[in-house]
Amino acid sequence: MSSEINLHGADVHAAHDAHDEHHHHETFISKYVFSMDHKMISKQFLITGIIWAMIGGLFSVLFRLQLGYPNSTFPILEDLLGHWAKGGKIQPEFYYALVTMHGTILVFFVLTAGLSGTFANFLIPLQIGARDMASPMLNMLSYWFFFLASIIMFSSLFVQTGPAAGGWTIYPPLSALGDASQGSKIGMDLWLLSMAMFIVSSLLGGLNYISTILNLRTKGMSMTRMPLTIWALFFTAVLGVLSFPVLLSGAILLLFDRNLGTSFFLSDIVINGKILPNEGGSPILFQHLFWFLGHPEVYIILLPAMGMSSEILSVNSRKPIFGYMAMVGSLFAIAILAFLVWAHHMFVTGLNPFLGAFFVLLTLLIAVPSAIKVFNWLTTLWRANIRFTPAMLFAIGFVSLFISGGLTGIFLGNSALDIHLHDTYFVVAHFHIVMGVASFFGMFAGIYHWYPKMYSRYLNNTLAYIHFWVTIVGAYLIFWPMHYEGLAGMPRRYYDYSAWESFKMFAGLNQFISFVAIVVFVTQLLFVFNFFYSIFKGRKVRTTNPWGANTLEWTTPITPGHGNWPGEIPEVFRGAYDYGKDGREFILQTEPIGPNESDH
Amino acid sequence: MIFIVIFQIAKASEYVSVLKGEDKARKQNNKINAFLLIAFLVFGLIGVWWCNDMFYGKTLFPQGAASEMGQKIDLMLYITIGVTGVVFVVTQVLLFWFAFKYQERDDNKAFYFPHNTKLELLWTTVPAIFLTVLVVFGLKYWFKMTSDAPKNAIVIEVTGHQFGWEFRYPGPDGILGKKDYKLTKGANSLGVDFSDPASLDDIHVSTTVHVPVGKPVKFVINSQDVIHDVGLSHFRMKMDAVPGIPTTMWFTPLYTTEEMKVRSGDPNFVYEISCDQMCGNGHFSMRGVIIVESDSDYKKWLSTQKSEYSTIFQTPASGADSTKATATPPVAMNDKK
B245: nearest CA in chain A?
A: A282
| The Cα angle at residue A29 between residues A28 and A32, in degrees rounded to 5 | 75
pLDDT above 90 as % of chain A: 88
Q: Which amino acid is at A530?
A: N
Res A252: pLDDT: 95
3-state SS assignment for residue A7: helix
State the first-to-last Cα distance of chain A, in angstroms, to the nearest integer.
Answer: 27
Contacts of A400 in chain B (CB under 8 A): 92, 95-96
Residues A199-227 have a mean pLDDT of 96
Residue of B nearest to A522 (CA): B3
Domain boundary assignment for chain A: 2-21+35-583
pLDDT in tens, A413-440: 999 999 999 999 999 999 999 999 999 9
Q: How far is B325 from chain A (nearest CA, A)?
A: 26
- Chain A residues with CB under 8 Å of B60 CB are 487-489
- Chain A residues within an 8 Å CB radius of B224: 268-271
Cα separation, A593 vs A576, whole angstroms = 13
The answer to whether the CB atoms of B244 and A318 lie below 8 A apart is: no
Neighbours of B45 (CB within 10 A): 15
Q: Give the helix/strand (H/E) hosting B248.
A: strand B247-251
Could you write out the DSSP letters of every residue in B4-28? HHHHHHHHHHHHHHHHH-HHHHHHH
| Chain B residues 51-110 within an 8 A CB cutoff of chain A | 51-52, 55-56, 58-61, 70, 73, 76-77, 80, 83-84, 87-88, 91-92, 94-96, 98-99, 102-105, 108-110
Amino acid letter for position B333: M
Nearest Cβ partner of B127 from A96, A368, A499? Answer: A368
* CA atoms within 13 A of residue B244's CA, in its CB half-sphere: 22
Check residue B316 and give its pLDDT: 54
The predicted structure's pLDDT at residue B288: 96
Each residue's pLDDT tens digit, B16-28:
777 777 788 888 9
- HEC-encoded secondary structure of A329-385: HHHHHHHHHHCCCHHHHCCCCCCCHHHHHHHHHHHHHCHHHHHHHHHHHHHHHCCCC
**CB contact at 8 A, A241 and A337:** no
pLDDT, chain A, mean: 92
Nearest CA in chain B to A92: B281
Q: How far apart are CA A325 and CA B84, in angstroms?
A: 27
**What pLDDT is recorded for position A24?**
52
Contacts of A64 (CB under 8 A, 6+ apart): A513, A514, A517, A518
In chain B, which stretches have pLDDT less than 70?
Answer: 315-337
pLDDT range class, residue A18, cuts 50, 70, 90: very low
Three-state SS at A500? coil
Identify which of A205, A115, A193 has the alpha carbon closest to the alpha carbon of residue A150: A193
Q: Which of B33, B104, B138 sits opposite A465 (nearest CB)?
A: B33
How large is the greatest C-alpha to C-alpha distance in chain A, in angstroms? 84
Q: Say yes or no for a CB contact (<8 Å) between B277 and A92.
A: no
pLDDT band (50, 70, 90) for residue A600: low
| Model pLDDT, residue B1 | 74
Under 8 Å CB-to-CB from A269, ≥6 apart: which residues?
A: A173, A177, A275, A276, A278, B181, B224, B225, B243, B244
* B15 Cβ under 8 Å from any chain A Cβ: no
Which B residues 151-170 touch A at CB under 8 Å?
Answer: 161-162
Residue A489 has pLDDT above 80, yes or no: yes
- Name the residue with higher pLDDT: A308 or A16: A308
> If DSSP states are collapsed to H, E and C, what string results for A221-244?
CCHHHCCHHHHHHHHHHHHHHHHH
User: Which pLDDT value is given to residue A4?
Assistant: 40
Distance from CA of A227 to the nearest CA of B (A): 14
Pick the residue from chain A with its C-alpha nearest to B189.
Answer: A273
Mean pLDDT value of segment A333-349: 95
pLDDT-based confidence at residue A25 (cuts at 50, 70, 90): low
CB contact under 8 A, A383 and B10: no
Task: Render A549-592 in DSSP notation, one character per residue.
Answer: --SGGGGS-SS--TTS-SSSPPP--S-S--BSGGG-SB--TTSP
Confidence band for A13, pLDDT divided at 50, 70 and 90: very low
A157 pLDDT exceeds 90? Answer: yes
**Cβ <8 Å between A415 and B61:** no
**What domains does chain B contain, in order, with CATH numbers?**
13-104 (no CATH), 154-336 (2.60.40.420)
- Cβ-based burial of A79 (10 A; exposed 0-12, middle 13-18, buried ≥19): exposed
pLDDT value at residue B335: 42
Asked if B281's CB is within 8 angstroms of A181's CB, the reply is yes
Per residue in A163-186, pLDDT tens?
Answer: 999 999 999 999 999 999 999 999
Confidence (pLDDT) at A487: 95
Nearest CA in chain A to B69: A416
Model confidence, pTM: 0.93
CATH of A2-21+35-583, one of 1.10.1740.10, 3.30.70.660, 1.20.210.10, 3.50.50.60: 1.20.210.10
Strands B287-293 and B271-275: antiparallel
